[in-house]
Amino acid sequence: MKLSVIIPVYNEIATIREIIERIQAVDLNIRIWADHANETIVTVERELVIVDDGSTDGTRDYLRTLEGRPGFIIVFHEANQGKGGAVWTGLQRATGDIRLIQDADLEYDPRDYPALLLPILEKRARVVYGSRFRGGPSKAMFFWHMVGNRFLTFVTNLLYNTILTDMETGYKVFTREVSDQLHLRASGWGFDPEITAQILLTGNRIYEVPIAYTGREFNEGKKISWKDGFTVLWTLLKYRISGYKPPMR
């Protein structure tokens, strides 16, 4: 069993080395229920698929030192394509049985990987989201960001008949089979609603687990603004109205 950790990166020289070290330090010998009465340990191999999205702060120079190392796939975009574009490139290059999206900014803790992978390894789900609103430890978020997130998640639930608590979470995990049903086009903040809409419209239900969250301040590089909410709303409505047909493989 192999896990592909897809890391979209744009100007993260201050954190990229540390997030890689944290990912490599996680113990992926995961105890699962093999049947109704017995447990077994599954050892999950990992590969890091890092997509640099046109960084200009030295991130690219650091990533070039990792090229060719076992367990790393390094891709460079010559021009910035947004998070959605970087994730889409990563999904196309990934070789793992399971794909996990990991931001490079230290807001999300790789020590949550075993909890995120467990429902998939036990075949209880094909898609798992890590929710910041299901009781995990977290740094206090901006109030209006929380309101906006809850509203957009509510719209998702209303339009797609689901009960998510955190549609815009950075931790989205799914099997290769689910990945093969996707065709991402959104470049920027339309990525989260687009991938969620495509997952739900292809008949996959989303399993949520609580995760830790340490949100960044704006002076630490936080990029989202209230204007991005309109992009999210439009993407949700567009897919609900037009539907989605998975690509032929």
| Residue 59 belongs to a domain | yes
207: left (phi over 0), alpha (psi -120 to 50) or beta: beta
Q: What is the DSSP string of 42-61?
A: EEPEEEEEEEE-S--SSHHH
pLDDT tens, residue by residue, 10-58: 999 999 999 999 999 999 999 998 777 789 999 999 999 999 999 999 9
- Quick one: pLDDT at residue 221? 47
| Residue 186 belongs to a domain | yes
For residue 220, is pLDDT > 70?
Answer: no
- pTM, 2 dp: 0.91
Q: Name residue 129's beta-bridge partners.
A: 172, 208
| Residue 138 belongs to a domain | yes
| Residue 26 belongs to a domain | yes
| Residue 249 belongs to a domain | no
CA distance 191 to 36: 38
- Quick one: pLDDT at residue 120? 98
For residue 227, is pLDDT > 70?
Answer: no
- Quick one: pLDDT at residue 49? 98
CATH number at residue 91: 3.90.550.10
| Residue 35 belongs to a domain | yes
Tally of domains in the chain: 1
Give the number of other Cβ atoms within 10 Å of residue 245's Cβ: 11
pLDDT tens, residue by residue, 177-219: 999 999 999 887 789 999 999 999 999 999 999 999 987 554 4
- Quick one: pLDDT at residue 216? 56
- Express as a percent the part of the chain with pLDDT over 90: 79
| Residue 10 belongs to a domain | yes
Q: Residue 94: phi, psi to the nearest 5?
A: -70, 150
| Residue 40 belongs to a domain | yes
Least confident of 74-83, 130-139, 141-150: 141-150
- pLDDT-derived band at 147 (thresholds 50, 70, 90) equals confident
Helices 191-201 and 82-93: crossing angle in degrees, nearest 10, is 50
Q: Residue 159: phi, psi to the nearest 5?
A: -75, -30
Which residue range is the domain that position 61 belongs to?
A: 2-242
- DSSP letter (8 states) at residue 29: E
Q: Which residue has the tokens 């509510």?
A: 154
Helices (H), the chain: 16-25, 59-64, 82-93, 113-121, 143-160, 176-179, 191-201, 228-242
Q: Token pair for residue 120?
A: 């998939």
Rg over alpha carbons for the chain, rounded to the nearest Å, is 17
Q: Token pair for residue 168?
A: 């815009």
